[in-house]
Structure 1
Amino acid sequence: MNSNFQKIIRKPDVLNITGFSKSTLYNRIKDGLWPSPISLGSRAIGFVQAECEAVLSAMIAEQPPEKIKALVSELIQSRKQAI
């Protein structure tokens, strides 16, 4: 198995893992406090599991919102360099 394997999880899984409501999840994405989803097709989205886990770890470590925003920004930027 490739060590660079990225797993995609669907929105219900993210909501279950975090305990967020749908509106809270989308507000956090809008505020830069949660990684944005990726398109899986014309009507489907998913979230990169490793990104979600990184943000959850920062939340558990009680990082301030500014640090979480910086982390999310860094994660999104690294997507573009993953190719």
Structure 2
Amino acid sequence: MSATTTIYVNTRPVEVTERKIGYDELIALAYPGEAVTPDMTFTITYSRGADGHGSGSLTVGAEVPVKKGMVFDVYRTIRS
């Protein structure tokens, strides 16, 4: 059984088992059950990360090592 780590996505605590987490996984955690459409763009920032990855942003295809208590903010913009 894998150990879990608590992170925070848009202020909600989430248990993850991965050692790294990526852009697509964070969108799915922030907006569960919602389909991503071509008119949506996302901005993902994080803080309280592991050594060398304390804070920053993620872009499409990027991932970052997970650390207990890490905070992720996932913002969605829809073009009209």
Which protein is richer in helix relative to its size? 1
From the two aligned structures, give the one with the greater strand fraction: 2
> Would you call these one fold, judging by a TM-score over 0.5?
no
- Alignment TM-score, normalising by the size of structure 2: 0.30
Q: Which has the higher contact order (CA 8 A, sep 6+)?
A: 2
